[in-house]
Amino acid sequence: MPEFDNAFQAALNLILGLDPTLVGILALSLQVSLAAVAVGAVIGLPLGAALALWRFPGRGAVVVVLNALMGLPPVVAGLAVYLLLSRAGPLGQFGLLFTPGAMVVAQVLLILPIIAALTRQQVEELHAEYREQLQSLGLSRLRRIPTLLWDARFGLMTVILAGFGRASAEVGAVMIVGGNIEGVTRVMTTAIVLETSKGNLPLALGLGLVLLALVTLINGAAYLVGETARRRLG
Amino acid sequence: MPKAGLILAALALMGLSLPATAQGIGHITLASTTSTENSGLFGAIIPAFTEATGIEVRVVAVGTGQAFEIARRGDVDSLLVHDTEGEARFVAEGHGSERADVMYNDFVLVGPAGDPAGIAEADDVNEAFARIGAAEAPFTSRGDDSGTHRAEQRLWKAAGIAPASPWYRELGSGMGATLNTAAAMDAYVFTDRATWVAFRNRQDLTLLFEGDEALFNQYGSVRIAPERHPHLKHDLAAQWHEWLLSEAGQQAIADFRVNGEQLFFPNSQPNAADAP
Amino acid sequence: MTQMAHQLPELAIPALRFEGASVVHRGQTLLQPLTLSLDGCRRTLVMGPNGAGKSLLMRLAHGLLLPSAGQVYWEGKPPRQAMVFQRPVLLKRSALDNLTYALAVSGTPWRARKPLAREALARFGLSPLERRPARVLSGGEQQRLALARAWLLNPKVLFLDEPTAALDPASMRAVEAAVVDFHARGTRILMTTHDLNQAKRLADDVVLLHEGRLIEHSDAERFFTTPASPTTRAFIDGDLIW
């Protein structure tokens, strides 16, 4: 497999050369995915917790839909957001299409179900354990949400990393709503697609390795922080 | 955690707004085709335009069909595609206000070096297609309703062949992906020259047939109708359109080379920019 | 929290009434219709073999569970309450933070929380452990932390559901001492146990349940010396199947 040797060579050259274009693309990838994860967490964590705590008619259906949306194809999310943000669409006047902002919106749509669904699961388990004690303390459901989210924080860190993984790995959504514009909306995954279509397979794979290294780095950092905190707080 | 998330979101969004505030007068968004973008043409000519006018051009490279669609919806300021018929229809339907020839490149037939169908000896492109059909040699087609795909279908028709599986394989992919597949399957493939020259994963593929005038691929620049989409940057888009047709733009196109080879041949009509 | 505040507090504790309260779960009657009145600032021990319905009675009394039929209510304004479970439910935080959390929930101003929490830790002999994660404490330490949390809530009524069932003798004594302290501070005690000796040590009155039915409710002395029911006799003699 000479492609793989060449890919490692390409990856090494890209990293060692600190190619400014590559740095820009990497930085944008990170910004977009981190912003999407942050927005997804701010909405998804309380949403998932609320789903875990409240019983209402149709709750089962909501849970099933949320679980199913975890498998939403990125292209479909991209297409939906494109139609929303297009000039002819309902949110067209904001001029978000083909900007990093649009990419964030599309990725939020992708990872919100993951964060909300997995949060619901974790909070529900923890609440089964805490319920009587919290009820004894006289806590309303609403006031239980921050308590449960905080006490589930180590598990939720993994949930958020899963969201980040999906955001940083997907290409279908950002390609459609971002347009893969050089220097504006080109991120790692769309650059990989571009190089592949040019037949530049070693470079494409090299970019893939760089992306993988970056994601590994972030996961490693999160793991370390989590482990340290876990050991300290139990 | 929600609080930390909020702060993170705010920081990230602040960072995101940075690249949006670019230098100069502003930017336009141009819809074009993947094959044009992949050739590297824009990387060569846009800097010259930006230097002359201060206008940044952001290229969204998609399939021809998608390019027309996003232009129809008012999501881009200008169009540069290679589907003369489609462009004419776009203008006739009132979506475009003006269309002009900019340049052409050509299509070529590529296949395995062994050339099992013997198309290298064909007298014209019709015979080349007929030979592939007669030999039922593997042929990969983009099958994506792109400009290239439409041109290929016209040529099959002209050769009197109705291509069919199993030897004819429609992929529904872009040009690059189709070339990658052809290389892996030792199949013939119809491609634009620009993508082919820049293509790096040739393996056993080689250029077998070229030069017939029927293979010329005309590019046109289309301006979007202001009355349909008043919000677009029509003034800036007009400058881009006129620059492409101007002597400076035409020269920049002629000067673009890949591996020493000229890929695009400027052919704007004199005074086209002044036409209504 | 001066001692004065706790003078004659029993006058302030309303009676808890069960009127035909029953618990049915999936067609099975776990607690037969129960009528019972608990009043005064006493230490009531609820006894009975496993499955007698002791925990159900506690949960009904504390409002963690609603009766399937009948009523459970306080005769007057429901008093401030706290509950200590057999397996203490502690948050995934430090010992100190578990206490400040309970204070925050009960509306204690931010500045007062840490001093109060440290006071409670000291009272229950947990001061050296204040920064330790609550979940890694030993069973006895966890139960004392749960008692410290209840202490801070300054309840009028304290429910304890088998609080010493899983503890070693030393920890058990600490819990019993705490129960005495709570009562001395004016807290009404409602506690389940299956330990006769513990009941003898602590009880003012005893409620005996058997197979989801109320067998007897009498003062401790009478319960242990001249029980009204033959079932009670059998229970005291250790002849009831557990």
Distance from CA of B249 to the nearest CA of A (A): 21
The confidence score (pLDDT) of residue B91 equals: 95
The confidence score (pLDDT) of residue A130 equals: 96
The confidence score (pLDDT) of residue B7 equals: 54
A234 → closest Cβ in C85, C92, C101: C92
Q: Which residues of C touch A (CB under 8 A)?
A: 59, 62-64, 81-83, 85, 89, 91-94, 101-102, 105-106, 132-136, 153
Interface touch C81/A136, C-beta < 8 Å:
yes
Please tell me if residue A234 touches chain C, with a CB cutoff of 8 Å.
Answer: yes
pLDDT band at B8 (very low <50, low <70, confident <90, very high): low
pLDDT over 90 (residue B5) = no
CB contacts of B6 in chain A (<8 Å) are 38, 42
CB contacts of B38 in chain A (<8 Å) are 194, 197-198
Interface touch A138/C89, C-beta < 8 Å:
no
Please tell me if residue A231 touches chain C, with a CB cutoff of 8 Å.
Answer: no
A86 → closest Cβ in B73, B175, B199: B73
Interface touch C82/A136, C-beta < 8 Å:
yes
Domain boundaries defined on chain C: 3-236
pLDDT band at B24 (very low <50, low <70, confident <90, very high): low
| Residue the block writes with tokens 């971002």 | A178
Please tell me if residue B44 touches chain A, with a CB cutoff of 8 Å.
Answer: no
Residue A36 forms part of a structural domain: yes
The pLDDT tens digits of the residues spanning B202-240 come to 899 999 999 998 999 899 999 999 999 999 999 999 999
Distance from CA of B198 to the nearest CA of A (A): 7
The pLDDT tens digits of the residues spanning B259-268 come to 888 999 999 9
Residue A90 forms part of a structural domain: yes
Distance from CA of B202 to the nearest CA of A (A): 8
Query: Residue B142: which of B109, B104, B197, B181 has the closest Cα?
Result: B181
pLDDT band at B22 (very low <50, low <70, confident <90, very high): very low
Locate the DSSP E strands across B117-225.
139-141, 168-170, 188-192, 205-209, 216-224
pLDDT over 70 (residue B140) = yes
Distance from CA of A164 to the nearest CA of C (A): 25
pLDDT, averaged across chain A = 91
Interface touch B2/A201, C-beta < 8 Å:
no
pLDDT over 90 (residue C210) = yes
What is the tally of structural domains in chain A? 1
C67 compared with A15, residue with greater pLDDT: C67
State the span(s) of chain B assigned CATH 3.40.190.10. Answer: 26-105+216-274, 106-215
Distance between CA C109 and CA C91 in Å, rounded? 21
Please tell me if residue B273 touches chain A, with a CB cutoff of 8 Å.
Answer: no
> Mutate which of B6, B46, B60 to test chain A, going by most A C-beta atoms within 10 A?
B60
Within 13 Å of residue C241, how many CA atoms lie on the same side as its CB?
Answer: 1
The confidence score (pLDDT) of residue A150 equals: 95
Distance from CA of A44 to the nearest CA of C (A): 22
The pLDDT tens digits of the residues spanning A184-194 come to 999 999 999 98
Domain residues for the domain of A63 are 23-225
Interface touch B2/A42, C-beta < 8 Å:
yes
Assigned CATH for C3-236:
3.40.50.300
The confidence score (pLDDT) of residue A66 equals: 94
- Based on the number of CB atoms within 10 Å of its own CB, is C196 exposed (0-12), middle (13-18) or buried (19 or more)? middle
CB A117 within 8 A of CB A50: no
pLDDT, averaged across chain C = 92
The confidence score (pLDDT) of residue B271 equals: 56
Interface touch A234/C136, C-beta < 8 Å:
yes
Distance from CA of A111 to the nearest CA of B (A): 14
Residue A2 forms part of a structural domain: no
pLDDT over 60 (residue B47) = yes
> Mutate which of C92, C132, C136 to test chain A, going by most A C-beta atoms within 10 A?
C92
CB contacts of A199 in chain B (<8 Å) are 176, 179-180, 183, 198-202
Residue A232 forms part of a structural domain: no
Distance from CA of C108 to the nearest CA of A (A): 13
Interface touch C89/A234, C-beta < 8 Å:
no
C163 compared with B274, residue with greater pLDDT: C163
Share of residues in chain B with pLDDT > 70 (%): 89
Within 13 Å of residue C152, how many CA atoms lie on the same side as its CB?
Answer: 32
Give the chain A residue nearest C153 (alpha carbons).
A137
The confidence score (pLDDT) of residue B259 equals: 84
Q: Provide the CATH number for the domain around residue A72.
A: 1.10.3720.10
Distance from CA of C29 to the nearest CA of A (A): 22
The dihedral built from the CA positions of residue B82, B87, B88 and B89, taken in this order, carries a sign that is positive
A198 → closest Cβ in B19, B73, B199: B199
C64 → closest Cβ in A129, A136, A151: A136
pLDDT over 60 (residue B252) = yes
The pLDDT tens digits of the residues spanning B59-97 come to 999 888 889 999 999 999 999 998 888 999 999 999 999
A149 → closest Cβ in B1, B58, B174: B1
CB C183 within 8 A of CB C22: no
Interface touch A87/B75, C-beta < 8 Å:
yes
Interface touch A149/B16, C-beta < 8 Å:
no
Tell me what the mean pLDDT of segment C25-52 comes to.
93
Q: In the CATH scheme, what is the homologous superfamily, with its name and number, of domain B26-105+216-274? A: Periplasmic binding protein-like II (3.40.190.10)
Distance from CA of C30 to the nearest CA of A (A): 19
Interface touch B1/A197, C-beta < 8 Å:
no
Distance between CA B75 and CA B232 in Å, rounded? 8
> Chains with ≥3 Cβ pairs under 8 A against B?
A
**C vs B contact (3+ beta-carbon pairs below 8 A):** no
Q: SS3 of A174, please? A: helix
Query: Residue B48: which of B273, B217, B192, B254 has the closest Cα?
Result: B254
Share of residues in chain A with pLDDT > 90 (%): 72
The confidence score (pLDDT) of residue B1 equals: 42
CB contacts of B74 in chain A (<8 Å) are 86-88, 92
β-strands B188-192, B139-141: how paired?
parallel
Distance from CA of B181 to the nearest CA of A (A): 10
> Chains with ≥3 Cβ pairs under 8 A against C?
A
The confidence score (pLDDT) of residue C5 equals: 45
CB contacts of A233 in chain C (<8 Å) are 92-94, 133
Peptide bond into C169 cis (omega under 30): no
Q: SS3 of C194, please? A: coil
Tell me what the mean pLDDT of segment A65-79 comes to.
94
Distance between CA C116 and CA C95 in Å, rounded? 13
The pLDDT tens digits of the residues spanning B157-206 come to 999 999 998 999 999 888 888 999 999 999 999 999 988 988 888 899 99
Return the number of other C-beta atoms located less than 10 Å from residue C147's C-beta: 27
Residue A62 forms part of a structural domain: yes
Distance from CA of B89 to the nearest CA of A (A): 20
What is the second-level CATH architecture of the domain B106-215? 3-Layer(aba) Sandwich (3.40)
DSSP string, C18-68: EEEEEEEETTEEEEEEEEEEE-SS-EEEEE-STTSSHHHHHHHHHTSS--S
Please tell me if residue A199 touches chain C, with a CB cutoff of 8 Å.
Answer: no
CB contacts of B70 in chain A (<8 Å) are 86
A181 → closest Cβ in B1, B2, B58: B58
Give the chain A residue nearest B203 (alpha carbons).
A199
